[in-house]
């Protein structure tokens, strides 16, 4: 096992932009070991004054929509504008082996070799909502290291991808035309949260289908209530492969940022996200407290046996289990 360093070593390394120390700190954050968690908490607490200055962008879409190709092409545009980019890419985990391929660095080969960019793939594990359990903490560490644009690329497995909205400023939904997900595809939960619907792979023989889908989505979006940000969602076309439409995407993000900074929504949204994060952390720590008790397994096995034998309902067994452990 790699030796833990003093908190000061991680803090100084991150503030100096040391990518190696940043990676080690994120590994600490993602660890399930209590000593690592305690050290990670110290690091994050010390770095908090150096966070919050980035633009946080969530990127999601179904598998095959071209998220990695889009991120590499769009990421290079952002780097050439003078920004430093961190990509937190969440890979799906096997529910059987619990392993993940973590292949995003391979799919973004050029971007991963650029010193101005930092790519960190993380396994989703058992977390729902398309993000990993410690994505928020990893994002803060990247901000402290000087990355001023953060992409959070979700797993992309369906409508549960909405959790990323609770940790980003701008939510970009990548779509495909002609893939059975057009108008029947106004999936309310996720589309209501999108600030930009981007129809990718709008090139070659698929361009006409993409233009048709763009018009359909534009019309359908008028059926939704106006967003609280005050920014009406845009529907654009892009070809990440041909690097077309990327200027329009960045222009839209800039327009959004200008509006929400001006009307106060940016600060309000960040504050609400912090409170949401507090509630999530409280739930996580309460569960951790119960599960780590020495007598938990004994009481749980009894409750499990009672449920298996239909002697108690799961609700009743859970209630009694909590009462015993309080």
Return the CATH number at 34.
1.20.5.170
Has residue 254 been placed in a domain?
yes
Out of 129-133, 163-167, 255-259, pick the least confident.
129-133
- Copy the structure tokens of residue 148: 């001023």
- DSSP secondary structure string, 187-254? -HHHHTT-SEEEE----GGGHHHHHHHHHHHHHHHTTSPPPTTSPPPEEEE-BTTTTBSHHHHHHHHH
Confidence at residue 122, expressed as pLDDT on a 0 to 100 scale: 76
> In terms of domains, do 139 and 80 share one?
yes
User: How many structural domains comprise the chain?
Assistant: 3
Has residue 270 been placed in a domain?
no
> In terms of domains, do 141 and 159 share one?
yes
pLDDT one-digit tens code per residue, 35-79: 898 999 999 999 999 999 999 999 988 778 889 899 999 999 999
Residue 60: in which H helix or E strand, if any?
A: strand 55-60
pLDDT one-digit tens code per residue, 236-293: 999 998 999 999 999 999 999 999 999 999 999 999 999 998 998 888 888 888 888 8
> In terms of domains, do 202 and 103 share one?
yes
Mean pLDDT over 97-103 rounds to 42
Query: Which of these three, 210, 234, 262, is where a domain ends?
Result: 262
> In terms of domains, do 244 and 319 share one?
no
The answer on pLDDT for 95 being more than 50 is no
Has residue 267 been placed in a domain?
no
Which residue's entry shows tokens 């946080």? 56
Average pLDDT in the chain: 86
Coil vs helix vs strand at 174: strand
Has residue 62 been placed in a domain?
yes
Has residue 246 been placed in a domain?
yes
Has residue 222 been placed in a domain?
yes
Out of 17-21, 149-153, 155-159, 236-240, pick the least confident.
155-159
Confidence at residue 128, expressed as pLDDT on a 0 to 100 scale: 40
Cβ neighbors of 131 (< 8 A, separation 6 or more) are: 90, 124, 152, 154, 155, 163, 164, 167
Return the CATH number at 118.
3.40.50.300
> In terms of domains, do 233 and 301 share one?
no
Domain limits for position 36: 1-50
Most confident of 17-26, 88-97, 125-134: 17-26
Distance CA 232, CA 262 (A): 15
> In terms of domains, do 143 and 249 share one?
yes
Distance CA 29, CA 8 (A): 15
> In terms of domains, do 46 and 58 share one?
no
Has residue 302 been placed in a domain?
yes
Q: Which of 242, 321, 268 is nearest to 70 (CA)?
A: 242
């Amino acid at each position: 096992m790699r030796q833990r360093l003093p908190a000061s070593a991680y803090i100084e390394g991150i503030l100096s932009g040391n990518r190696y120390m940043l990676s080690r700190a994120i590994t600490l954050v993602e660890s399930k070991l209590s000593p690592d968690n305690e050290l990670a908490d110290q690091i994050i607490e010390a770095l908090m004054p150096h966070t919050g200055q980035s633009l946080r962008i969530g990127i999601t879409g179904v598998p095959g929509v071209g998220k990695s190709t889009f991120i590499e092409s769009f990421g290079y545009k952002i780097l050439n504008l003078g920004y430093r980019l961190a990509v937190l890419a969440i890979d799906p985990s096997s529910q059987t082996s619990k392993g993940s391929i973590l292949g995003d660095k391979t799919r973004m080969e050029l971007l991963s070799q650029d010193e101005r960019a930092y790519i960190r793939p993380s396994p989703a594990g058992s977390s729902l909502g398309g993000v990993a359990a410690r994505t928020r903490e990893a994002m803060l560490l990247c901000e402290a290291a000087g990355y001023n644009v953060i992409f959070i690329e979700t797993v992309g497995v369906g409508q549960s991808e909405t959790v990323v909205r609770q940790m980003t400023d701008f939510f970009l939904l990548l779509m495909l035309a002609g893939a059975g997900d057009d108008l029947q595809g106004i999936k309310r939960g996720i589309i209501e949260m999108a600030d930009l619907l981007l129809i990718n792979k709008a090139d070659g023989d698929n361009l006409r289908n993409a233009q048709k889908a763009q018009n359909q989505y534009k019309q359908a979006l008028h059926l939704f209530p106006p967003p609280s940000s005050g920014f009406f969602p845009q529907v654009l076309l892009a070809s990440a492969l041909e690097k077309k439409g990327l200027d329009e995407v960045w222009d839209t993000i800039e327009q959004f940022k200008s509006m929400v900074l001006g009307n106060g929504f940016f600060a309000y949204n960040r504050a609400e996200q912090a409170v949401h994060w507090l509630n999530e952390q409280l739930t996580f720590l309460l569960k951790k407290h119960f599960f780590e008790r020495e007598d938990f397994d004994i009481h749980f096995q009894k409750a499990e046996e009672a449920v298996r034998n239909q002697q108690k309902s799961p609700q009743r067994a859970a209630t009694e289990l909590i009462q015993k452990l309080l």
